[in-house]
């Protein structure tokens, strides 16, 4: 049995080329995924900071509302 090594080498090179292209595509996709993940983490951190800020503002407003309620209660006492 005689092997056609030239034809076999061409087939192997074609397969190797396809594998290389596939690996390059995988690497490219992984880079894109990493960029997207980093962007999501950044947005998550920004959202967390905004949440903390809004929470702080909410607490401040809540404190002012409670202070106003106490003032209103004192005014009602004085009027009664």
For residue range 14-40, what is the model confidence (pLDDT) as tens digits? 777 778 888 888 889 999 999 999 999
**Rounded average pLDDT over 50-70:** 92
The answer to whether the Cα torsion of 27, 31, 37, 40 is positive or negative is negative
Residue span of the structural domain in which 16 resides:
1-79
Q: What is the pLDDT averaged over residues 39-62?
A: 91
Whole-Å CA distances, 47 to 35, 38, 43, 54, 63: 18, 14, 6, 10, 24
Number of domains the chain is built from: 1
What confidence tens digit (pLDDT) does each residue in 3-20 have?
Answer: 676 777 777 777 777 788
Q: Flag whether the pTM goes above 0.95.
A: no
pLDDT at residue 1 tops 60:
no
Residue spans of beta strands (DSSP E) within the chain = none
């Amino acid at each position: 049995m005689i092997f056609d090594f030239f034809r076999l080498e061409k087939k192997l090179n074609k397969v190797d080329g396809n594998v290389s292209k596939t690996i390059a595509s995988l690497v490219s996709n992984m880079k894109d995924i990493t960029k997207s993940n980093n962007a999501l983490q950044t947005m998550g951190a920004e959202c967390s900071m905004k949440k903390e800020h809004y929470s702080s503002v909410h607490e401040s407003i809540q404190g002012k509302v409670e202070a106003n309620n106490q003032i209103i209660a004192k005014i009602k006492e004085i009027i009664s």
